[in-house]
Amino acid sequence: MKKLNFMILLSILILYQCATTPLKFQMDPSFDPKLIKKVAVFEFEPTPGEPSSGKILQEAGIEAFKKQGFNVLEKEKVKEAFSKLGLRTAKEYSESEMKKLISELGVDTIVYGKVMEFTSSGSPEGLLHDSTPQPMPGATIPYTEYSYSLYITLNLFHESLGKTVFSAEYKKQGKGRTINMKEISTKAVIEITSKLKTQK
């Protein structure tokens, strides 16, 4: 009976961890992350509800990859390459388009992705103790607690295999006194790229 109870508890813990883990990823077993030398981060496909989300994720991606020690191409160079090749940004790309961009940019790795959800909102859900004198001892004042929801996909295309070698899905919700979606997005991409570092 004790063994059965233990197994039930273990199963619950595993299911809980799976349910609360914001990141899922998979990497091509034949790919070596050490081959990543120079990275170009593309503008992500934005969510319809927030057109600027794609550009924000691009900025977050550039910052995150730099913080992880990767050599990242300036976004202006990426923009120039798209213009020269007559390609549209923030969309799905074919393998032939990726290979052309790799050659034009002079990089070995392209980072691209899609924003599925990108929202933040405020509501007076909390109470904050006011340090200023109040008519009644221990009085509290309401404060605004913000909530956010971020759901993105991130992929790496590498020249060595000529295909997408790494795919990740990140989905997280949270609350706080202040919400900065750029910072939240950067932390999300750092968490994703850390998986590349651990695989080296």
Q: Where are the domains of the chain?
A: 24-117+151-171+181-198
Longest dimension (CA), the chain: 71
Task: Say if residues 166 and 28 touch (Cβ distance below 8 Å).
Answer: yes
CATH dotted code for 24-117+151-171+181-198: 3.40.50.10610
Taking the C-alpha atoms of residue 186 and residue 73, their distance in angstroms, rounded to an integer, is 17
State the CB neighbour count (10 A cutoff) for residue 152: 26
Residue 196 has a pLDDT of 87
Q: How long a stretch of residues is the chain?
A: 200
Please give the pLDDT value at position 1. Answer: 52
**What is the pLDDT confidence band of residue 199, given thresholds at 50, 70 and 90?**
low
- pLDDT digit string (tens) for 95-151? 999 999 999 999 999 999 999 999 988 654 444 444 445 555 555 556 577 899 999
The reported pLDDT for the residue numbered 84 is 95
- The reply to whether the predicted model has a pTM over 0.75 is yes
Q: Which of 17, 52, 22 is nearest to 150 (CA)?
A: 22
34 DSSP 8-state letter: G
Instruction: List the one residue out of 150, 154, 196 whose CA is nearest residue 41.
Output: 154
What pLDDT digit, counting tens, does each position of 24-80 carry? 999 999 999 999 999 999 999 999 989 999 999 999 999 999 998 999 999 999 999
